Structure 1
């Protein structure tokens, strides 16, 4: 089977989409399939390639990936962290990938058997749809998490922002801009739903979002979770009794608006004021990292905000911790999502402090892997960490988390499921067209 993947994020970048596809493609190639990936020159998360990436990867280059896949490098647009320049980057990469793929697969005999387009970025879906129609091959639209809902989720038109006083009306210009943005987001939402409906299969990473897609008219969406390589995650042992006095709390991952990590900083500051020994480490990158560090300094919170570390150093941080934190804001689309990092945390055996709702909360409860609190519930977090600090046995390691991953979210299990979906859609497409099966 010849597989084409269109994605905006790919190795050697680090991140959830990159890790997912590296794991899947390794197993696809090992199973004897040919994989071509169309992806921009690496430039995540900084918006520009590093000097090494600029030297190694060129626009238009055809590279051999780490697993034997072919990688076609497309153009990109240097960007900042704001949604405007990032969306422009997505559009530039998508347009260039369309042009280059049409040239690369001009001959019918070389064309893929199936096209996979994955969001984010949303324009990749449009490119996948156009190519699949032109080549008359099946399209698999993969919606990582609740895309585009996480971007397009808006409140009632003209709603007054929370920061305004209750009796203050926004000025006309601000209201007009807000309404225009709301209309644009809704237009994007309608377009993406249309592209999804045009795919032969839509793959999502959670059962809750699959239900949402069914309600929107998507026929039989398939669920292939994010996951982790269970064999590659070390099971952490409990610390010896009396090893350290403070409760060690670790957050490892993105520090954006979505995570609501100011709740963690404020809770830690209040616990210190009450004499509860707590130490928090936040490690990663994101637009909110400077603000979190400033808040911790302002409040005198026992919180370190540290830069992103290589994956080779992650296990050392898990070994340091007593509990690991997963946090999302109380936004409706987050009830349909599961942070990809959660599966790795389950595999570590560490106690999980979960400020989550919806399917992610259900996973933690089902795995018996920690304590689930309402998102952004500062008081509940203080109560939990006070209990764990007083009785460290409550944060003891849990084998049940690794058992859950082995059954539901190990990379080998997920790749086999994904290949089964691809083989079915390709077989159905050939049957409908009457084309002979390729060897």
Structure 2
């Protein structure tokens, strides 16, 4: 079967969407399918000058084909450089979606006479869903949507998106009075339309799958998309496991490695470290990653006078030192209701490594951590509760030793559950 994937992000970038689709592409290729990808050149979380972008744009042709690590063919499409603000990201995502449509419909070079059996669009970015629907309609082929987060429900939280950045820009103050509501309403309608007409939807959370299955707007005209949960249990970048008895110091070393963004609101963790410090327990906190809240977190840590550092995103091969240093790893989300249907992919990686998790999460993520004995959980946006947990862990280090069946469960999901579910969804969708 010929499968066309439209995506905002792809290898050699190394974020969660890229790693998820390197893994899913390998499942498809190993099953004998031919995978062709339309994606922009690597630019996610990179600062690209307009002159550099223009030179790249002029030098790229549709005849250029890269080969991905899973044997997929990658055709690079147009884009406009992203920036840190929501407006800049929206422009970037919209231009990537338009670039994918243009690349496919021109039917030149590597895509001459190409007709896929199935089209898959990966979300986020949200405009990719619309691009997938348009391409599928023109080619008259069925399509799937890989819905990685709780969209479109997260659009309801748009007035809180900048809460974790510590500032409200003039642009946001201007737009949120009316234009933001219009854009949010339009985006929701377009996304729901794309989901409604899809042959199938893959999600990363069973909670989200249950909610979508009950959503009437997706059940019209006597048909509805098949919805399947494919968890983010892609292979870890290292298969190390932690030393169960490595804590040899007072206090507590806490590591957060991931996005320093809006949905995390890590200010809550800094406040918790301050409360614990006032109770006589030293919390050494390292936040490692990139995101729009980086500057605000650095400033807040300095103002609170706590032992916390905000460090750049690190290559995977250099993360071993960070995990060896840590006593517990922080998995942290804010209290937006749709995030109860999200499971940060870091949860599975930490479970596989037997790393104790300090979970500031609710819903399915909290349930998984507790069910598999992978750590401790407190409610989001309650720094007092998080501080109390850390004080308890510092005084009772045996609680940091994880001996549950989490690693075996993650491996079973990766090797046995996900491939069968995904291939079954693809094959059934292509037949619709």
Tell me the equivalent position of 1:200. Answer: 199
Distance apart, 1:196 and its partner CA: 0.6
The aligned runs of 1:338-357 (5 Å cut-off) are: 338-357=343-362
Give SS of 1:35's match. Answer: strand
Distance apart, 1:343 and its partner CA: 1.0
Unaligned runs of 5+ in 2: 164-171, 219-223
Counterpart CA distance in 1 for 2:416 and 2:399 is 32
1:305 counterpart (310, 328, 332): 310
Counterpart CA distance in 2 for 1:262 and 1:382 is 13
Q: Let me know the Cα RMSD of the aligned residues.
A: 2.7
Structure 1 residue 102 and structure 2 residue 101: aligned?
A: no
Tell me the equivalent position of 1:166. Answer: none
2:119 counterpart (115, 122, 136): 115
- Deviation string 1:146-183 (CA, Å, 9 cap, x unpaired) is 12332443579xxxx9xxxxxxxxxxx96984233123
The aligned runs of 1:99-178 (5 Å cut-off) are: 99-104=102-107, 110-154=114-158, 177-178=176-177
Distance apart, 1:140 and its partner CA: 0.4
TM-score, normalising length from structure 2?
A: 0.88
User: Is this contact kept in 2: 1:77–1:93, CA < 8 A?
Assistant: yes
Tell me the equivalent position of 1:11. Answer: 11
Counterpart CA distance in 2 for 1:414 and 1:196 is 21
2:79 counterpart (61, 73, 76): 76
Structure 1 residue 229 and structure 2 residue 235: aligned?
A: yes
Tell me the equivalent position of 1:288. Answer: 293
Distance apart, 1:104 and its partner CA: 3.1
- Deviation string 1:39-80 (CA, Å, 9 cap, x unpaired) is 01110013538989x889946432122222110101110121
Structure 1 367/101 Cα, relative in aligned 2: closer, same or farther at 3 Å?
same
Counterpart CA distance in 1 for 2:326 and 2:95 is 42
Give SS of 1:118's match. Answer: strand
User: Is this contact kept in 2: 1:355–1:374, CA < 8 A?
Assistant: yes
Structure 1 155/311 Cα, relative in aligned 2: closer, same or farther at 3 Å?
closer
User: Is this contact kept in 2: 1:43–1:49, CA < 8 A?
Assistant: no
Give SS of 1:249's match. Answer: strand
Counterpart CA distance in 2 for 1:381 and 1:288 is 20
Structure 1 residue 2 and structure 2 residue 8: aligned?
A: no
Structure 1 residue 24 and structure 2 residue 28: aligned?
A: no
Counterpart CA distance in 2 for 1:176 and 1:282 is 31
Counterpart CA distance in 1 for 2:280 and 2:43 is 44
User: Is this contact kept in 2: 1:24–1:411, CA < 8 A?
Assistant: no
The aligned runs of 1:327-406 (5 Å cut-off) are: 327-406=332-411
